[in-house]
Amino acid sequence: MQFLSSYGLNGNDFFRTAEQIALPPWTGLPELAHYRAITPGPHARMQILVTGSAGFIGFHLARRLLREGHLVTGIDSFVPYYDLRLKEARHALLEAEPGFRGLRLDLAAPGVVDAALQEAAPEIVVHLAAQAGVRYALEHPETYIASNIQATFNLLEGMRRRPARHLLIASTSSAFGASQAMPFRERDASATPLNIYSASKLATEHMAHAYAHLWNQPITAFRFFTVYGPWGRPDMAFFKFTAKILRGEPIDIYNHGRMERDFTYVDDIIEAIARLIPVVPEPGRTVGASDSLSPVAPYRLVNIGNGRPVQLLDFIAAIEAAAGKKAIRNMMPMQPGDVTRTWADTTLLQALTGFAPSTDVRDGVAAFVAWYREFYRA
């Protein structure tokens, strides 16, 4: 039980609420090659607000910022999009950390944001709260309007009244839509979203740019590319594949496996965000021809991806190797609203931060499978 014991949990704790879990102080991640040691950053101690703090990426980011000595307020509405017990377990770990305060709030609700900003008084805001998932959007499109567009609008309005030094907003590679230009570059046109999820995230980018222009609020939006790793979302393919392979159940492989994704390990995502926090957009201060900095606003769009597309079947092979079991493959046609390939150009990220994601898929998958086996005692 190496993974769970290092988090202060055992298998039974997964079935309790956050209030019932008595956790010791954080003792660090297991000593595995694919986990980087967290060392204090060069930044002064700051008040930072992270929305979506019980989510996959929000949890990892809040933990990183706390380990750097920052004071973190985490907001999450605990929407039951997937098993709430996983969200409760993540937040319980954060609540055991000195310097963390958790708020259970729905950012889409009227009046909530102003009260939260007043209480948190953040210097930095990282907005990760969102309804994700391409396939879920086919059946529940209304959820994306409330959770992505309305909630982001409320946050932008609140920050118009209580601005921060830097607002960072999460978007998605899905916002590139039907673009065939590879690799995807931030300056590429993004006018062809293929599903409500990507349309809603593209809308939040446009709203953010407008607010940056109108109210001079510095904003960086970043597009994530297929994030995976420990504590991931159960609705995502890598999570479903692992669960079903270990149980000996068939996995659905869309487009008969003829797909490529720029799989990006969660530690690399967090490293990139942490390095972008002090990189505040300033009109006229570009870093070269690849810069997406707006000519009329303190606004920039940045890709965060591994920069190397991987064949879906190779990714599945990595899961099989880590699990020690072969998948039962159910080949399926292409799903509506999906794309066959994603590939991030990370030139701008490297120019701004000096960092480029580099975790090999085999190492990242091994870390996830090890975590999954221990967390679910599989």
Catalytically active residues, by annotation? 197
Question: Biggest alpha carbon distance in the chain?
Answer: 56
- Beta-bridge mates of residue 227: 264
What does the H/E/C string look like for the chain? CHHHHHCCCCHHHHHCCHHHCCCCCCCCCCCCCCCCCCCCCCCCCCEEEEECCCCHHHHHHHHHHHHCCCEEEEEECCCCCCCHHHHHHHHHHHHCCCCEEEEECCCCCCCHHHHHHHHHCCCEEEECCCCCCHHHHHHCHHHHHHHHHHHHHHHHHHHHHCCCCEEEEEEEHHHHCCCCCCCECCCCCCCCCCCHHHHHHHHHHHHHHHHHHHHCCCEEEEEECCEECCCCCCCCHHHHHHHHHHHCCEEEEHHHHCCEECCEEHHHHHHHHHHHCCCCCCCCCCCCCCCCCCCCCCEEEEEECCCCCEEHHHHHHHHHHHHCCCCEEEECCCCCCCCCECCECCHHHHHHHCCCCCCCHHHHHHHHHHHHHHHCCC
- Six token digits for residue 64: 């990183």
228 beta partners: 265
Relative to beta strand 260-261, strand 310-311 is: antiparallel
